Structure 1
Amino acid sequence: MASSTCARGTDIKEGHPRDAKWRVLAAVSTGAFLASLDSSIVNISLPTLVRVFDAGFVRVQWVVLAYMVTVVSLILPLGRIGDILGKKNIYLGGFIVFTAGSALCGTGASLSGLIAFRVIQGVGASMIMALGFAIVTEAFPAQERGRAIGILSALCAAAIALGPVLGGVCIEALSWPWIFRVNVPLGIIGCAMVHGYVPGDTVKKGESFGGSGAVSLSAALVFLFVGITWGQVHGYTPLTALAVGVGFVFSSAVFITSENRAVQPLIDVSLFSDRQFTLNLVTGFIAFVAYAGMVLLLPFYLEEVAGYPTRRAGLLMAVVPVSLGVMSPLSGALSDRFGSRLVTTAGLCVSLGAYFAASSLDGGTSVPGLVARLVALGAGMGLFMSPNNSAIMGSVARDRLGIASGLLTAARTLGQAMGAAGVGAFWAFRVSVYSGRTPAVSSADICGFHDTFMGLFFLTAGGIVVGLLGCAPHRGTSDAPARQGAQR
């Protein structure tokens, strides 16, 4: 009954104008756009920062990693805090913190200061990213939710595509601090939009927030993430591996113990009793592991194997998020009409074909052939992502939307991190194997790409199998009420 209540109660409060839900979407989209833009605009500045601060890449890369580690560590705790203290309060606070962090990053401080300010930015981005889907889900009725989430996903994809282009313009025409300063005016406008357009929600008195669970979960994720990145850069010594492993296991054990003892745990385990919620979450994680791994390797293929200059490689890379952004709103509307299961499966099948086609890439692949593969990759994720997100958010009760939104974002972020680390390591391993068989470096690279992209093909096939385990039919995001009606 909780899900039915949720589906019936998703409209904006009575008394608001008819277009209030679209104003909410506009306000939330501004935050999602900024957070997504900042996840991609900084990458292109790394070579410049190496020269400006006269530092090695190993240290400069923490300008990116500090942001990512902060986001992935805080997503789940902030989802729970949003359920308790009110989603609007946390979302607006995130806007303020993110804008302040952007202004601090734009001061052009030392490298250590920039990394510290990126942590502040990451805290604000976590508050924004943890609750965006939840606020939109509450604002829109079930029959329109897929379209709204599709628009939100499209804007995020557009921001990711715009990031490298805008970053390059800022660095060449102005200076590197402007890649952060551009956030400030948009952040101020966004704060005003959230304050004026997003309706307030009830603060839950008497509910507690498990601080020990939040800290231990964040610590476990930090140990995992730092362990992966440290191993890639420095390699593992027995002592390092032991320290990271013990830290991760200990933090995880503390988290599990805290959650078992908590009256109101950070993660509502009952959410996973819903088959559709669990399977869609796992499928989304698998899809993002494969997608992130592919996106990580594409620049190496374009520049080192195909021989494209960096600027042209960047333009070709933009084909993927543009294709994803174009397809996302369409997939949301299709899921509202035909159901999420059919559309998500179709998206994964398109991705499956894209990975298989990518396994045949070599140094002589034509530009049209390359673009066709990149369009398919983006279109597949665009078809999959919005309906899958909508199905996840539509299967939980209203008072658990915050933590569900946090779980959704955490699954996506962890998938991206694991894809970047795991797929990159697999490709490097295969290249090292082939390097002993052929003297040509490019040939070893190509063979490594072939093996890796076929690995992504099989990983995505596994995702399709997991998704099809949810045999119950879906109708957009009103799945839970439909299932209950069928049971009655």
Structure 2
Amino acid sequence: MNAPSTLATRLLTERPRPRGIASRRYAHWLAVGTVCLGAFLGQLTASITALVYPALQRHFGTGFAAVEWVALAYLLVLVALLAPVGRLSDLVGRKTVYLGGFALFGLASLGAGFAGNLGTLVACRAVQAVGGAMMQANSVALVARGVPEHAMRRALGIQAAAQGLGLALGPSLGGLLVEHASWRWVFWINVPVALVGLLAGWFLLPRTHRPDAGPDARPVPRPLPRPRGAARPDPEDGRFDLAGLLLLAGSTTALLLALSTASGLPLPGWAVAALLLASVLSGLGLVRQERRAARPILAPGLVNTPGVRPGLAVSLIGYLLLFCPLVLGPVLFAEAGLSTGRAALVITVLPAAFAVAATAGGVLLPRGWSDVARCRFGAALAGAGLLGWALLPAAGAPALAAAVPLLVAGFGLGLLLPANNALVMRAIPAECSAVGGGMVNMARSLGTALGTALPVLGVHLAGPVPAGRGVLLALAAVAALAVLLTRPVRRR
């Protein structure tokens, strides 16, 4: 009778690191390295998937609008689960949830590679996103808690470099696997990385939860800023805003389904209007729910803090600008006659430049530049690169010609996004930093989802080359909007 509960207790009880590891002076850097494996894996998955779309279309005999759900299913589940997984981690321990994320991610990746139809593949990607949320919701907290205060900035920079490496490696690795092996290896490649991360985390991550420490060991967080009329939360109230979560998931899913239906997904014509209406109504319901909830998942009080709302909008725009070219590029290069491998190498220029600029781009800028100046310059540079790509002639040598504007756009985005994140976190009170970081992650995931869906819509409506130019011109205009939205904020 007690065997299942005993097994569950053992699985949910965090084990400390071996004494021989915990006593080392560099033990915290071993923990940071383990977190970097999860950061690398998450961004590798995000950037490698775009290269598999044409192969999936041929294998399953379906359209672009259907195969894009291999990415959208992952992103939608990730957006919906970041907040509740963070709450779960506070209850059972960040190490436990993080290791469970590695295990679930690896198993779902194995299943995705064996998928016999597109529906099974999309379902495996949704399960994979659950594991991704378990890792992503805990990564920053594990780094911040696992290193000394004086090493935190350096540790977070190393984590950002791991994310940039995964983002940069994804397109070229995906192109090589699709061209020389099979699309299935795009998912199977995650399995050994997840296994290494699981073993490393078990031995190298410190314990983050002690159920025997008693309630006095758990610090009571300060209440979040509340909008007018909102209920006052009880610090010991463990309830979760389930209604807000369902409304958020319903609004984003309906919007992306509407875009997919307009992009050629085989649903009735009236479904677009119905889905758009459902998205708007769910969004309005979400705003009302979040204003009334004692513990809202979107924290309207923080969103209304000066500087936070435009900062979240710029974060969404930045990832929209980053992922639109990753989805659009393979289509344009295939139309120009490039092989999958060559196209992948050209596309890699964008995330590679992003990774370099995000980690070391500040060295090339004037020393006195503020984060606001970096944001505006980065957004302008990204817009210039995308505009330059849009104005290229369709004929000629597309590989060499497109590499230069992709390099410029990627470098600009690498300057924009870290500086914008610093502005957002500076505007948020220190005691609310975890919630603020979660909102930044949501904005990033929504921007990635829109960056996946909008190019597919454009290609369906206008064809690859005209749509490519139209989408790129629109992205350049959106980059200009990011310049206008960036503004100084006061430290809180």
Which one of 283, 297, 318 corresponds to residue 252 of structure 1? 283
Residue type at the aligned position of 2:256: F
Deviations 1:304-348 (A, max 9, x none): 2x5433322221111111111122111477899854223222222
Residue of structure 2 equivalent to 1:233 = 264
- Contact 1:134-1:405 within 8 A present in 2 as well: no
Deviations 1:57-87 (A, max 9, x none): 5544433332232223323433444456554
Residue of structure 2 equivalent to 1:91 = 98
Residue of structure 1 equivalent to 2:233 = none
Deviation at 1:24, TM superposition (A): 3.5
- Contact 1:281-1:408 within 8 A present in 2 as well: yes
SS in 2 for 1:209: coil
Residue of structure 1 equivalent to 2:418 = 386
Residue type at the aligned position of 1:197: L
* 1:348 has 2:348 as partner: no
Residue of structure 1 equivalent to 2:443 = 411
Which one of 183, 187, 192 corresponds to residue 194 of structure 2? 187
Which one of 312, 317, 331 corresponds to residue 342 of structure 2? 312
Which one of 34, 40, 48 corresponds to residue 41 of structure 1? 48
Deviation at 1:142, TM superposition (A): 7.8
Residue of structure 1 equivalent to 2:351 = 321
SS in 1 for 2:383: helix
SS in 1 for 2:263: helix
- Contact 1:303-1:313 within 8 A present in 2 as well: yes
Residue of structure 1 equivalent to 2:111 = 104
Deviation at 1:393, TM superposition (A): 3.8
Q: Where does structure 2 lack aligned partners over 5 or more consecutive residues?
A: 1-21, 210-217, 221-235
Q: Relative contact order (C-alpha < 8 Å, sep 6+): which is higher? A: 1
Deviation at 1:31, TM superposition (A): 0.9
* 1:160 has 2:167 as partner: yes
Residue type at the aligned position of 2:371: S
Provide the rounded CA distance (Å) in 1 between the counterparts of 2:190 and 2:438.
23
Rate the CA distance shift 1:94–1:29 in 2: closer, same or farther, 3 A: same
Residue type at the aligned position of 2:482: G
Provide the rounded CA distance (Å) in 2 between the counterparts of 1:19 and 1:339.
33
Residue of structure 1 equivalent to 2:80 = 73
Rate the CA distance shift 1:47–1:222 in 2: closer, same or farther, 3 A: same
Rate the CA distance shift 1:168–1:419 in 2: closer, same or farther, 3 A: closer
Rate the CA distance shift 1:330–1:452 in 2: closer, same or farther, 3 A: same
The TM-score with structure 2 as length reference comes to 0.78
Residue of structure 2 equivalent to 1:330 = 360
Residue of structure 2 equivalent to 1:281 = 312
Q: Where does structure 1 lack aligned partners over 5 or more consecutive residues?
A: 1-14, 433-441, 473-478, 481-488
Rate the CA distance shift 1:120–1:128 in 2: closer, same or farther, 3 A: same
**Matches of residues 469-488 of structure 1 in structure 2 within 5 Å?**
469-470=487-488, 472=490, 479-480=491-492
Deviation at 1:411, TM superposition (A): 0.8
Provide the rounded CA distance (Å) in 1 between the counterparts of 2:370 and 2:156.
14
- Contact 1:150-1:331 within 8 A present in 2 as well: no
> Comparing 222-231 with 232-241, which one deviates more in the overlay?
232-241
Residue type at the aligned position of 2:163: C
- Contact 1:154-1:325 within 8 A present in 2 as well: yes
Deviation at 1:352, TM superposition (A): 2.8
Rate the CA distance shift 1:281–1:50 in 2: closer, same or farther, 3 A: closer
Provide the rounded CA distance (Å) in 1 between the counterparts of 2:118 and 2:362.
42
The TM-score with structure 1 as length reference comes to 0.78
Residue of structure 2 equivalent to 1:124 = 131
Q: How high is the sequence identity, in percent, across the aligned residues?
A: 27
SS in 2 for 1:264: coil
Provide the rounded CA distance (Å) in 2 between the counterparts of 1:263 and 1:240.
35
Rate the CA distance shift 1:185–1:145 in 2: closer, same or farther, 3 A: same
Residue of structure 2 equivalent to 1:197 = 205
- Say what the alpha-carbon RMSD is for the aligned residues: 3.5
Rate the CA distance shift 1:244–1:452 in 2: closer, same or farther, 3 A: closer
Deviation at 1:466, TM superposition (A): 0.8
Provide the rounded CA distance (Å) in 2 between the counterparts of 1:397 and 1:198.
27
Rate the CA distance shift 1:361–1:144 in 2: closer, same or farther, 3 A: farther
Provide the rounded CA distance (Å) in 2 between the counterparts of 1:214 and 1:158.
32
- Contact 1:147-1:329 within 8 A present in 2 as well: no
- Contact 1:223-1:244 within 8 A present in 2 as well: yes
* 1:464 has 2:483 as partner: yes
- Contact 2:171-2:344 within 8 A present in 1 as well: yes
SS in 1 for 2:264: helix
